[in-house]
Chain A
Amino acid sequence: MAKFSKKNASTKQEVPTAALPDIIFMLLIFFMVTTVLREVTLQIRVTLTKAVNIEKIEEKRLVSYVYMGPEKVGQNSFGATKVQIDDVLIEDLTNIRTIMYEKLLEQPKLIVSLRVDMDSEMGLVTDVKQELREANTLRINYSTKRKVL
C-alpha cells in the first residue's frame, strides 16, 4: 500500500502585518467621515410611530426637521406638547413660517420632516402644517419607523 507522507511546507506562512495600521486607519477615516454626532439636543420626547408603507428619503441634505412632543420637565415627567426646531422650542407657532421660509430660500427643494411623538394630538400637527403652507414649504414627510409584520 502506498503511503502518502505529509509534506511540510517549506516556506514560512506568515501574514504580513506591516500594512495593518494602514487598513485600520482607512476604516477609521471612513467612519469618522460618515459619523453624524447628534445635531440637536431634544428638549422634548419624540417616540416615533410605526407604519408599513413607508419610503426612505435618500437626499438627506434636503431634509429639515420639526420636532413635536411633550416637553421634558424632570427625569421622567413631561409637560405640555411643544414644537422644537433645531435647538429652540417654538412658543409662538407663527414664527415657524419665517423660519421655514428662510430655510426654503436656502434650499428650494426643502423637505420638512415632521418627527412627532406618538401620543400627540392632531390639532398641533395641523397648526404646524398650516404654518408650513403659509411658508410655502409643501413637501413634508411624517417620520415613522418601519413596522415589522
Chain B
Amino acid sequence: MLLKKKKREEAEIPSASLADIAFLLLIFFLVTTTIDVDTGIGLVLPPKPDENVKPPPVKERNLLKILVNQQGLVLVNDMPSAVTDVKQKVLDFVDNANRAQDANLSESPKSAIVSLKTDRATPYSLYIAMLDEVRGAYNELWDTLSMQRFGVKYAMLDNERKAEIRAVYPMNISEAEPDPGTN
C-alpha cells in the first residue's frame, strides 16, 4: 500500500493576474455606481378633508395669495408681480410683526399662511420656481433668527434647535386645488 504513494506534481492556480481581474471588476462597478441621494422640496399634504368639519376660518390679512396662471404671470394678493419679487413679498408678509407692521399683512409669523394656487395648465417648472421662492424666504427668516440665537446658520443646527426655530416661523404653505381653467 505504501508503495502506491506517488509523488504528485503540485497543482497551482496562477495568481499573478488575480489583481488585474479584480481591477477590471472594480472599474466596472466604479463606473456603474450611482451614489445618488434624492434631493428636492419636501412637503406634507393636508389630510383628506372631513365633510362634517368645516375648515377653520382664516383672517384675510393672514393669507398671502399667490396665483400663477398658464402664461406664467404671477399675482400676489391680486397685484401682478415678477417671480423674483415674490421672495421679498413673502418675507414682508410673514415677518410683518417685526418689520413694517402693515395692517394688511399678517398679524404674526405663526398665523401667516402662504397660499399657492395654479391653473391646470400652469407649467410644473414654474410652480416649483414659486415654491422655491417661498421656501427661500422662510430659509432666510430661519437663518436670521438662528444667527441671532445660536450664532450659526439654520442648516447647522441639531433637530431640537431646528424645531425651536420652526416654532417661531412655522412654514404654512397651503396648496389650493387648481382652477379648471378657461379653455
Q: In the complex, are the beta carbons of B45 and A133 less than 8 A apart?
A: yes
Q: In the complex, are the beta carbons of B29 and A31 less than 8 A apart?
A: yes
The interface size of chain B toward A, counting residues with CB under 8 Å, comes to 46
Q: How large is the interface on A (under 10, 10 to 19, 20 to 34, 35 or more residues)?
A: 35 or more
Residue of B nearest to A125 (CB): B124
Out of B38, B45, B46, which one reaches A57, CB within 8 Å?
Answer: B38
A78 within 8 Å of B by Cβ?
no
Q: In the complex, are the beta carbons of A57 and B33 less than 8 A apart?
A: no
Q: In the complex, are the beta carbons of A31 and B26 less than 8 A apart?
A: yes
Docked complex: B124-163 residues within 8 A CB-CB of A: 124-125, 127-129, 131-132, 135-136, 139
Contacts of B15 in A (CB 8 A): 21
The A contact surface, by secondary structure, is mixed
Out of A55, A118, A122, A133, which one reaches B39, CB within 8 Å?
Answer: A55
Docked complex: A96-137 residues within 8 A CB-CB of B: 111, 113, 116-123, 125-126, 129-130, 132-134, 136
Q: In the complex, are the beta carbons of B29 and A32 less than 8 A apart?
A: yes
Q: In the complex, are the beta carbons of A121 and B48 less than 8 A apart?
A: no
Residue of B nearest to A54 (CB): B39
B41 within 8 Å of A by Cβ?
yes
Q: How far is the CB of A64 from chain B (nearest CB, A)?
A: 11
Q: In the complex, are the beta carbons of B38 and A60 less than 8 A apart?
A: yes
A138 within 8 Å of B by Cβ?
yes
Q: In the complex, are the beta carbons of B124 and A119 less than 8 A apart?
A: yes
A119 to B124, alpha carbons, bound, how many Å? Answer: 6
Q: In the complex, are the beta carbons of B178 and A138 less than 8 A apart?
A: no
A20 within 8 Å of B by Cβ?
yes
A69 to B45, alpha carbons, bound, how many Å? Answer: 22
A4 to B43, alpha carbons, bound, how many Å? Answer: 73
Given A20-B19, A25-B22, A49-B128, also A54-B120 (CB < 8 A): no
A27 to B19, alpha carbons, bound, how many Å? Answer: 12
Out of A21, A58, A140, A142, which one reaches B18, CB within 8 Å?
Answer: A21
Residue of B nearest to A146 (CB): B39
Q: In the complex, are the beta carbons of A49 and B38 less than 8 A apart?
A: no
Docked complex: B33-77 residues within 8 A CB-CB of A: 33-35, 37-48, 70
Q: How far is the CB of A110 from chain B (nearest CB, A)?
A: 12
Known: A28-B22, A141-B38, A143-B38. 19 other contacts (CB 8 A): A24-B22, A27-B26, A28-B25, A34-B33, A35-B32, A51-B129, A56-B38, A56-B39, A63-B38, A122-B120, A122-B121, A122-B178, A123-B121, A126-B177, A133-B46, A139-B44, A140-B45, A142-B40, A144-B128
Q: What 4 A-B pairs have minimum CB-CB distances, sorted nearest first?
A: A123-B120, A31-B29, A53-B135, A51-B132
